[in-house]
Amino acid sequence: MDRALLVVIVGPTGVGKTAVAVQLAQALNGEIVSADSRQVYRRMDIGTAKPTPEECRLAPHHLINILDPDEELTVEDFQIRAYSAIEHIQAKGKLPLLVGGSGQYIRAVVEGWVIPRVPPQPALRADLETFADVYGATALHARLAKYDPVAAESIDWRNVRRVVRALEVYMTTGQPITVLQARRTPLYRTLQIGLTRPRQLLYSRVDARIDQMMADGLLDEVRSLMEAGYDRRLPSMSSLGYAQLGSYLRGEITLEQAIALIRRETRRFIRQQYTWFRLDDPSITWFDLEVTPISLIIDAVEHWLAES
């Protein structure tokens, strides 16, 4: 049986994925499935650059505003929800567009990951997190490298939550998470569209967006979340912008230092995203938005649909 068609739009933060996706959805009778690990949270609108109400009117979006900030969306949870949203869109005779910059979320759907069914182990997690607090995140990452060097290579040492999860899986099952994350035949035939811009222009766009977020009230958004009792250790509150402004509101750094950190960490995140979505990846068709009109991207997708 022929596999269903799925268009995927990837690229770094700030490149313009939402605007392109909305225009594609309008031109091709599509709906958007967000693959953004932070836009899932309610009350976190400005700092996550959620699509505007007008953009949502022009093109329906799925998997946005589905969790409170103290809830967690695992890769397995996302995969299940994404499969359901894609099926719902296809049942209406529309084209699903999976759009985002969260590499694990995208690959879990596109590559058909078989994700380890290892329930959380609260006591073990607490022990590993305490180890990281006492000896440092690099020491915890070194433990992972000993047991699962492949996972350690792909997980940034600063991402303590993912390091803890990989260790949790190994220490519970005796097998590396990279062994258990097998692949099956993907459910969909996919066209992956990559969006990029020259790096310095992308950094300039991101800097301008951060300034606009501050003008739009990001500081008040972070303050309201803290006043509501959302802990700094939550995955949601470790997001870009929220973590740094939280440090300012706790009196740990100045506002100027916080904004400088947001800029620095956003650039680091962009570099990390380019390791997930490589410009030389033959499975991704890349378009430089500085020189490519949207009409050419629409033409490319229409040609693929006609040939599929």
What dihedral do alpha carbons 38, 265, 206, 276 form, nearest 10°? Answer: -70
- Integer Cα distance of 84 and 90 in angstroms: 10
Is this model's pTM higher than 0.75 or not?
yes
The count of other CB atoms within 10 Å of the CB of residue 45 is 18
CATH of domain 4-115+182-307: 3.40.50.300
- Integer Cα distance of 295 and 161 in angstroms: 41
pLDDT tens profile 141-174? 999 999 989 889 888 898 888 899 889 988 988 8
Domains 4-115+182-307 and 122-180 in one fold = no
Question: Six-digit token pair at 45?
Answer: 């609108």
Question: Six-digit token pair at 268?
Answer: 């680091």
The full set of domain ranges for the chain reads 4-115+182-307, 122-180
- Integer Cα distance of 305 and 101 in angstroms: 23
pLDDT tens profile 131-145? 999 999 999 999 999
Share of the chain above pLDDT 90, in %: 81
Q: Is the dihedral of CA 307, 276, 176, 37 positive or negative?
A: negative
| Identity of residue 82 | A
* CA-derived radius of gyration, the chain: 20
pLDDT tens profile 171-230? 988 888 877 666 678 899 999 999 999 999 999 999 999 999 999 999 999 999 999 999
**What top-level class would CATH report for the domain 122-180?**
mainly alpha
Residue 67 — φ and ψ, nearest 5°? -135, 155
- Integer Cα distance of 4 and 99 in angstroms: 17
- What does the mean pLDDT of the chain come to? 94
pLDDT tens profile 91-145? 999 999 999 999 999 999 999 988 777 777 888 988 999 999 999 999 999 999 9
